[in-house]
Structures are given as C-alpha cells and as structure tokens.
Amino acid sequence: MRILALDSSGLTASVAVVEDEQILFEYTMNYKKTHSQTLLPMLDEAVRMTGLSLDTVDAIAVAGGPGSFTGLRIGSATAKGLGLALDKPLIHVPTADAMAYRMFGFHGLICPIMDARRSQVYTGIYEFDEQFKVVRDQMAEDIFALAELLNQFGKRVVFLGDGVPVYRENIKETMKVPYVFAPPHMCRQSAAAVGALGLIYAKRGFTEHARDHKPDYLRMSQAERERLEREKGQQHDRP
C-alpha cells in the first residue's frame, strides 16, 4: 500500500511517500517560509524525484490537528483537493499521535507538546506496551497541570515538540519523575511518521472521504476568542 503523507500542523512543513515497510521520499523544512509557499512545491518535488504519479497512491494521510490554525487549514485544503481530484480516501492522523510515534520503542511515557500560548500546550500521552498505546487522548492543557498529571503516573517521560524550548524551564521546575527531551532530529513533526501511522490506520479501515475531512482544532482561534470577548463586552455595555 502506498501513502502520500502531509504535515503542516506546526512550524515544520513535511511531505512523504510511504510504501508498506519503507519510506520512499521525505521532504521536511522549517526555515523562514510559510506553508503556503512550501507545501505544493514540496509535493512537486516528491513527484519529480521519485518519478511516481500521484495516481499511484492508495490514500492520502494528513496530520489532522491540533496545531497551528493556518497550517492545519493549508494541510487540510491540500489533502482534500488531492483526494477529490484523484478520487483517493484520506486518513486523518492526529498530530500528537504521529509525533509520539516517532519515539517508537521508548520505555516510559511519550509526551508531545505544541505551544498553544497562554501557558497552554496541545498534547497527548502515549507509551509502547508491546504496541503503540494512547494513554490520554489529544487535549489542550495548561503546562503546569500537564506536568502534575505526568508526575502521578510515576514513569519516565520524554518530551518533544515545538513547546519544548518554550516551556523547558517550567517543565524543569514542575517535574518530579525522571524525564528527557528528544533530540532535534526526533523533536518536530514528520510526514514520514504521519504516513507510517496512517498506513496502520488505513489497514484497520480508518479512512474517510475527502469531502468529510475536518481538522481537529481542539479550541477556538485567537481571532474567534477576541470576537467573543468583544461581543460579551458589547452586551454588558447595553442599557
């Protein structure tokens, strides 16, 4: 089975082609360009370098959130457009699941953290108990509350994601169990991980039609929150 995978849920943009037990292609970039500038050229490069036609893929896996609102919209729109044009199913892979899957075989808890601002992170808790296991589903959580929750498990933890440099000192202050930070080559989003996990999900029948795909934002965008705050203020000002 051949999977085209996309991840633009965070600062990193990534495209990969995964086929059964191997990664045929991966292009990952995190340097001074927006996803609207990088994602389609990266797709073109995947086709050019591999010589594969997009018609030959069996499904399109996309990091479905949480993450950057703009990045998720770009990834979602690209995946939907490809799915509709090629008549291929989509595989919705939760962002935190795919990030955690990069730490395959780690003995302890795996905790991806993406900066959601206001001392919050998008996160989930995972482990490998013979197979990949979701301990806590994706959530938006206060970084201090997350650390306290992890302490309660009493297990070693690995942190990864763009939230690590932002909240490293908070983690050091709050964690009471042993923990480590993933190295740079394993710390950010990877379309290869999205594709590898998407391959497993597809074999279990977890696919969707392109028209039905929607990103998981987990919370309202800053613009939506500000609009609601303005509306509440206007209501209070009314006589």
- Average pLDDT score over residue span 186-213: 96
**In the 8-state DSSP scheme, what is residue 56?**
G
- Kindly report, residue by residue over 122-138, the tens digit of the pLDDT: 999 999 988 999 999 99
User: 239 pLDDT exceeds 60?
Assistant: no
User: 216 pLDDT exceeds 50?
Assistant: yes
User: 220 pLDDT exceeds 70?
Assistant: no
- Return the H-helix or E-strand segment holding 65: none
User: 21 pLDDT exceeds 90?
Assistant: no
Contact in structure between 220 and 228 (CB atoms under 8 Å): yes
Band of residue 145 on the pLDDT scale cut at 50, 70, 90: very high
For the chain, which domains are there?
A: 2-95+189-219 (3.30.420.40), 105-181 (3.30.420.200)
Comparing CA positions, the residue from 86, 90, 98, 91 lying closest to residue 126 is 98
Which of 17-21, 87-91, 156-160, 233-237 is the least confident region? 233-237
Counting every residue written for the chain, the total comes to: 239
User: 225 pLDDT exceeds 70?
Assistant: no
Sheet holding 120-129, edge to edge: 131-142, 120-129, 109-117, 157-160, 179-181
Please indicate whether residue 236 or residue 158 has the higher confidence score (pLDDT): 158
Q: What is the pLDDT of residue 223?
A: 47
Band of residue 229 on the pLDDT scale cut at 50, 70, 90: low
Q: What is the pLDDT of residue 224?
A: 47
Contact in structure between 163 and 115 (CB atoms under 8 Å): yes
Q: What is the pLDDT of residue 33?
A: 85
**Tokens of residue 154, six digits:** 């009493």
Band of residue 199 on the pLDDT scale cut at 50, 70, 90: very high
Residue at token pair 């703009």: 70
The proportion of the chain whose per-residue pLDDT surpasses 70, expressed as a percent, equals 92
Band of residue 233 on the pLDDT scale cut at 50, 70, 90: low
Which parts of the chain are beta strand (E)?
2-7, 13-19, 22-29, 59-63, 90-93, 109-117, 120-129, 131-142, 157-160, 179-181
- Kindly report, residue by residue over 26-58, the tens digit of the pLDDT: 999 998 789 999 999 999 999 999 999 999 999
- Average pLDDT score over residue span 211-229: 69
